[in-house]
Amino acid sequence: MASSGSVKGFFRQRKNITKPKPKSSSSSSKKSPHHPATFGADVAQPAALISHGSPDLKDGYDEHEDVLRQFDMNMAYGPCLGMSRLARWERAHSLGLDPPKDVEGLLRSGKVRLDCLWDGRV
């Protein structure tokens, strides 16, 4: 069976926090810190991360990151932890698994996180 397509059905969808943007100061009460290693850490009332004049709510998560996370979660290419995404893509390529080319393009562009989803969190 394995997941040849998207794995969205498997894992609970992460809430897309870009959609409803809370505007008022109540949003500044529980901001996620920028470093993923502290995601979910019990830091009471961390200061809001203001970047370029507006609160940074995205935490580096956009549609590019979503594509890369799907690549991370895809079991066909092997475990993702402990390898950089590009190294994992290259391994999949050399083993003949035919990984998606757009993922390679994204990784080489340099604007995305090069480490896998769980890096630093596990």
Residue in the structure block whose two tokens are 């008022």: 24
Among 81, 98, 114, 121, binds other proteins (CB under 8 A): 81
User: Is residue 49 part of the contact set for other proteins (CB under 8 A)?
Assistant: no
Listed in order, strand segments (DSSP E) in the chain are: 50-51, 54-55
Contacts of 114 by beta carbon, 8 Å cutoff, 6+ apart: 84, 85, 86, 107
Min separation Cβ 70 and other proteins, Å: 16
Q: What is the identity of the amino acid at 114? A: L
Judged by CB under 8 A, the chain residues 97 through 116 that form the site for other proteins are 97
Chain contacts with other proteins (rule: CB under 8 A):
1-2, 75-76, 78-79, 81-84, 87, 90-91, 94-97
